[in-house]
């Protein structure tokens, strides 16, 4: 069973719900639209294959991908502004403020993304092992995608911490006192 396809080999009642006279053989494909299915027989078992908690997990993971994509773009912009020249001019001070604001927005989005990821993992890990009605329930175990998402959760936690540190250091550098004895021009070797 996958996100787009479910394959059966002589599946019938009690393993597959519905009419005991129907035997499911072959692969059945579906789309994300619940009203469009490739086979009329499949409509009877779609709620059995994709229960509401599974659809909730799928929607949480899909929204998480969109949030992380926006975070990557914002972090790329912040990184480009971070590698600007080190001297202070009035035109660059606006970029510093924008980089700080984008840093905090990205930090907030990363925290939200991590919370979505943790809640989806918690929901899936608490409900998925209890699918005893599946054939060979003793072989049910978490697959590679679950553990991959678990590792993504750890990496997201590290990225939240590092984004927090970089944003706070940018704020401290921007608002911190400068030594009046040494100008920025002198520190860059232009005196």
Query: Could you read off the pLDDT of 72-131 as tens digits, one per residue?
Result: 898 888 777 766 655 455 556 677 788 888 889 999 999 999 999 999 999 888 887 776
pTM of the model: 0.69
Q: Burial-class residue 117 by CB neighbours within 10 Å (0-12, 13-18, 19+).
A: buried
- The gap from C-alpha 27 to its chain's centroid, in whole angstroms, comes to 29
H helix or E strand, kind and range, residue 61? helix 52-82
Query: With 90 as the cut, is the pLDDT of residue 69 above it?
Result: yes
Q: Could you tell me the pLDDT band of residue 22, with boundaries at 50, 70 and 90? A: confident
The residue ranges of every structural domain in the chain are 1-50, 51-187
Q: Output the pLDDT for position 1.
A: 45
Contacts of 103 (CB under 8 A, 6+ apart): 78, 163, 166, 167, 170
Q: Output the pLDDT for position 140.
A: 62
CA distance 67 to 109: 7
Q: Output the pLDDT for position 36.
A: 47
Beta partners for residue 30, in sequence order: 37
For the record, the structure tokens of 45 come out as 């078992």
Least confident interval from 20-29, 121-130, 179-188: 179-188
Q: Could you tell me the pLDDT band of residue 186, with boundaries at 50, 70 and 90? A: low
């Amino acid at each position: 069973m996958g996100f787009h396809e479910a394959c059966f080999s002589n599946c019938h009642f009690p393993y597959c719900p519905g009419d005991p006279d129907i035997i499911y053989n072959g692969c059945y494909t579906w789309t994300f639209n619940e009203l469009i299915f490739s086979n009329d027989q499949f409509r009877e078992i779609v709620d059995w294959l994709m229960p509401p908690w599974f659809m909730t997990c799928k929607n949480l993971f899909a929204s998480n991908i969109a949030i992380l994509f926006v975070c990557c773009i914002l972090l790329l912009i912040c990184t480009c502004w971070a590698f600007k020249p080190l001297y202070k001019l009035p035109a660059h001070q606006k970029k510093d403020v924008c980089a700080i604001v984008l840093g905090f927005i990205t930090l907030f989005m990363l925290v939200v993304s991590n919370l979505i990821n943790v809640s989806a993992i918690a929901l899936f890990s608490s409900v998925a092992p209890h699918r005893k009605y599946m054939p060979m329930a003793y072989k049910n175990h978490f697959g590679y995608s679950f553990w991959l998402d678990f590792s993504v959760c750890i990496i997201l936690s590290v990225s939240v911490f590092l984004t927090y540190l970089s944003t706070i250091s940018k704020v401290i550098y921007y608002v911190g006192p400068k030594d009046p004895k040494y100008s920025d021009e002198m520190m860059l070797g232009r005196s």
